Amino acid sequence: MLYWLGVAAFALAILISVSLHEAGHMITAKRFGMKVTRYFVGFGPTVFSFRRGETEYGLKAIPLGGFCKIVGMTPQDDDVAPEDQPRAMWRFPVWKRTIVMSAGSITHFLLAIVATWIAAFTFGLQNTSYPTTTALQLKERPVIDAPACVWAGTAPAGATADNCKPGVNGAIAGPAYAAGIRDGDLITNVGGTPITTYGDLVNKIRSLPAGKVAFEYSRDGVPGKAEVNLVSAERAAITDESDDAKTTTVSIAAIGWDDPSIPGIIKYNVASAVPATFDYSWYLVENTFEAMKRIPDKIPALWHSITGDERDPNTPISVVGASRLGGEALANGVPQLFLTIFISLNVFIGIFNLLPLLPLDGGHIAIAWYERVRSWLYARLKKPDPGRVDYYKLMPVTYAVILIGGAFTLLTVTADIVNPITIFNR
């Protein structure tokens, strides 16, 4: 039951964020004097609607997004009444149109920033610049140190690798070593979650309960799998990153190898959470661009996951898949993961929507600035202004983008239904 409540809660959170995206367009358009005739949440048949001033607000039956209608977005719009021509969007200065069209993505970024700030002083944020030992100095890659013996709980005073003996002073056989993992192995996946940095590795392990979890690794370029029995251990938690930071210990799941003096997650106070929020947000932006560059390479794996192959956890997911992961997070008592997925998805939607392709907002922005630059060049060359871009000539490209985007969405949704990515073994 908690799983399905989590799925519904995540889907609702995304619907609200998309609705606020459209509200961003509407509010900025109205502020500049453009005419907005409709603002609806959802698509399909109208459930109810009401009018306030010149705008109709309402709810549609299919809760898969929303829209707002701004009069005269392009010069080719043929539904602009004569009295509304002066308020047509395309007649406004390019900087105003840029603000209106980018307001949706800005809304997603603001949601992500606020959610990150809240996470920073409630659950803590991943330590993205996780310090490493000499054995791990490989561009912060998740290269593991797997000793044969480790201490569960708190290591005794003077504990070293040399005096560690399983069964003595709380020492146990190293969980990673016992599972077949060795020093220098590159961890690529933990519990279905792709691992790219050492911080990812520590953050993921500490988010899991003690017990068995699947690991994937690479040793000298050869992939391998192992089931590691995570143990309960005392590890450091930093409550504030300021100079007067106080280090405390918390009981978490561990693999036995991580330095107990270094936190994988840092918890901040309300003030110190502000700079940490922007640092973490930039980390997400960089990783989002990297993930987007890899999307074309993952399409074959998506298709194969539908036709019977094991689902590659590095493949893209849809809102359906993200909602399922959100449900898993709540069902397993990890609300911080629910919030992390919500933050990451908002960053992705915000960036994706600014790509310079029609019908995305970024496509409209790119055309507006192309027109502006072209008019400036023609004026310098003392030639007549060529006027506005003919959107009808761009329709084949627009339809191609819609077709490819629709096919990709259908592919990811199908994969998320038929063969979903899971974080926890349910």
* Residue in the structure block whose two tokens are 């048949």: 45
Q: For residues 68 and 379, what is the distance between their CA atoms, to the nearest angstrom? A: 35
For residue 315, give the amino acid letter. Answer: T
Q: For residues 36 and 26, what is the distance between their CA atoms, to the nearest angstrom? A: 7
> Three-class SS string for 268-318?
CCCCCHHHHHHHHHHHHHHHHHHHHHHHHHHHHHHHHHHCCCCCCCCCCCC
Q: Are 91 and 368 in contact (CB under 8 A)?
A: no
Angle subtended at Cα 264 by Cα 151 and Cα 267, rounded to the nearest 5 degrees? 120
Tokens of 392: 């009808």
216 annotated active-site? no
What does the radius of gyration of the chain's CA atoms come to, in whole angstroms? 26
Tokens of 273: 């959470």
Q: Are 254 and 147 in contact (CB under 8 A)?
A: no
Catalytic residue among 22, 241, 328, 371: 22
Helix (H, G, I), strand (E, B) or coil at 227: strand
Residues 6+ positions from 122 with CB-CB distance below 8 Å: 336
For residue 95, give the amino acid letter. Answer: W
Q: Which residues are catalytic?
A: 22
